[in-house]
Structure 1
């Protein structure tokens, strides 16, 4: 008997709907919603649909993400429509549906960001969007640069107050802040407009459906943080265990972070390498391993302060603490090089194309790096930095301890000179 051919994949249609409700839904989207056998969405979105959309209504459970495949499987073969806010593919449910549905059709509505940019007269290509929906407010700090325009997606009515407090705390109190509510609906309005400094406290609670528009202005005297590695040493809380600015910039250059990549930062100290790796792109991830609990807590504070609260801090000693970590694209070893088997464990953890960079200032660890260079290839360099300091009534150079750095990429063919 010839086996039956599988039927066509079930198509899930996700329909965007704005604050204007049913009146703003185009005819094509209306037809899909009214024809659906199953309607899935949040209470607010489902409540915007008229009675003629007679499909079975299902409210997303919490937590939402694990429920997506289960609900799609439970209603396979039926006409499913998912109702979402605005553009479902812009920080919306569209991502999860695209990963789980056999086939996905998206009928978007203008997003609240598009409405905000239009109302403010801000070209979208010149605006940075930061979402605080389900994410800590601290991540906004990484986007703060003088003169930049930000649109902050709020989690609820308390978000504008959190934004104002963070701006003041990070030296951006003069920034102009506006709160835009119910964008695209009949109740659209700007409910607050002031500098962050002028908000002595969090503003009164408003509508939970809001966006915060920020025109960044750095306060006079506030520490300036650039967009490339090599932040001022003063940006970090530390106990002396800090990769200094010039060496840090060279180290990040050797590590060469790219969007979406994961770094292991071993012997984190103050966490500066992992922090600046993550600041290069919002999708960059890092795990820092630090054996000293006090330093591990300090790394967490530095990550919060500098806008990368997603940095994962593991308190433990390498190489044992590396066993359960996800595969990295790059590894930095800033401490603990003499731990037996550490360099070999890092090398084995890397996939082909992965990078390993190790720094040291001691002769004992330098010998290990020289041996690794002989066996694996790569580049072995010495970084020397001198600072001008007063010498009596004159000026002279004070030499910092030189740093030996080994940088290597894992390939099938080692660099010339490496052992075969």
Structure 2
């Protein structure tokens, strides 16, 4: 059993008797150098290695026959080492004694309601992750962020520095340049900030014309139906707009953007960072060869539909209950979609958009290229296969009116 004790800037004096007793019974005490200096007693003190996560299993194994205590800042289960240890060892091998979190202390000092505040941890993470949380009038607490970087991302926000919370050196002020390393940044957002609803303006993206246009993108994301924690493959990503807006719907959503052009792939990375989802993984390569990836919960095929094996590979990799959406703008790619619709079913939709544009001294409608969308959901598998009643295995796409078949590869 490993005991994880939350500790604040007030150190030993701020710990309740139960936490002190637990620490006093430990043989090995692990934590940051700063935290280890806060606790008196005769322990073997082990400072966290860097990087921590790759080295943590071996470190724990070396002390497996001893009683281990771990120090964590504030609440160990709130963006802390406690959750990491539980994932690694299991909840039955970790006991957590929480302390008030830095977010709780910050809200107490500011008079903010904790349940109405967004908390973003930038500890060891890129500052761009803050961008999707900046909305007019919202209150945001930033853990571990660089004051200068945060201020650059939120130039119209009122920023308060809360440092050494709970300790004798606690200070609340607005001097970003003088912020103590142990701080929380409290943001009161101004008027800037973009909606997380899909369908951002086209000019929000850097692109060379290979971009799923705004209106079609909104429909595409609605059909992909992102849910927290799910993984998307954006195949033939172009500018990466679908992957970006998938990830912006919820912080737990993930995406892999697959693009054969190195130049466009680099552009996907820049768009992802600029729009606050730098965690998108960009894979440079041609599909289907580049699709040896973690199985997705949803797939969007925006390019490469006519390449042999692309749809087969995406369908085979899709998790049960997952959604596949493919868009076509040429007759050749549309023929591929109609063939697969005959084979697997789903929905075919054509979207035609016209935008108002000047015509001499007047205004008229300028039509965009029509786009055909095919959306299909992979059946949940179980004792019964996903094959529709009466389907015959091995039928090729479009080989008969109303044909619906699922081959062994598709199962």
Q: TM-score, normalised by structure 1?
A: 0.88
1:247 and 2:229 equivalent? no
Deviation at 1:205, TM superposition (A): 4.5
Deviation at 1:414, TM superposition (A): 5.4
The equivalent of 1:115 in structure 2 is: 105
Q: Structure 1: which 5+ runs fail to align?
A: 1-10, 168-172, 194-202
1:19 and 2:21 equivalent? no
Counterpart of 2:268 (choices 288, 291, 299) is 299
The equivalent of 1:187 in structure 2 is: 169
Q: Aligned partners of 2:179 and 2:223: how far apart in 1? A: 48
Deviations 1:189-212 (A, max 9, x none): 12325xxxxxxxxx4343100111
1:419 and 2:404 equivalent? yes
Deviations 1:283-332 (A, max 9, x none): 11111011111111111111111000111111111111112x11111110
Deviations 1:225-279 (A, max 9, x none): 2121111112111111111111101000111111111111011111100000000
Deviations 1:359-381 (A, max 9, x none): 01100000000000011111111
Indicate how the Cα distance of structure 1 residues 134 and 337 shifts in structure 2: closer, same or farther if over 3 A, else same. Answer: same
Counterpart of 2:64 (choices 76, 79, 83) is 76
Aligned pair count reads 386
SS at 2:52 equivalent: coil
Q: Does the 8 A contact of 1:387 with 1:398 survive in 2?
A: yes
Counterpart of 1:350 (choices 311, 318, 322) is 318
1:152 and 2:120 equivalent? no
Q: Does the 8 A contact of 1:68 with 1:100 survive in 2?
A: no
Q: Does the 8 A contact of 1:287 with 1:313 survive in 2?
A: yes
Deviation at 1:415, TM superposition (A): 6.7
The equivalent of 2:342 in structure 1 is: 374
The equivalent of 1:41 in structure 2 is: 31
1:166 and 2:156 equivalent? no
Q: Structure 2: which 5+ runs fail to align?
A: 380-384, 390-401, 406-411
The equivalent of 1:199 in structure 2 is: none
Q: Does the 8 A contact of 1:353 with 1:409 survive in 2?
A: yes
SS at 2:180 equivalent: coil
Q: Aligned partners of 1:48 and 1:367: how far apart in 2? A: 69
1:140 and 2:124 equivalent? no
Q: Aligned partners of 1:315 and 1:73: how far apart in 2? A: 38
Q: Aligned partners of 2:266 and 2:189: how far apart in 1? A: 30
Deviation at 1:69, TM superposition (A): 2.3
The equivalent of 1:57 in structure 2 is: 45
Q: Aligned partners of 1:418 and 1:35: how far apart in 2? A: 71
Q: Aligned partners of 2:86 and 2:198: how far apart in 1? A: 35
Counterpart of 2:372 (choices 385, 401, 404) is 404
What's the RMSD between the two structures over aligned residues? 1.6
Q: Does the 8 A contact of 1:225 with 1:232 survive in 2?
A: no
1:336 and 2:323 equivalent? no
User: Pairwise mapping of residues 90-101 of structure 1 onto structure 2 (< 5 A)?
Assistant: 90-101=78-89
Q: Aligned partners of 1:73 and 1:321: how far apart in 2? A: 37
Q: Aligned partners of 1:277 and 1:149: how far apart in 2? A: 24
Deviation at 1:27, TM superposition (A): 0.2
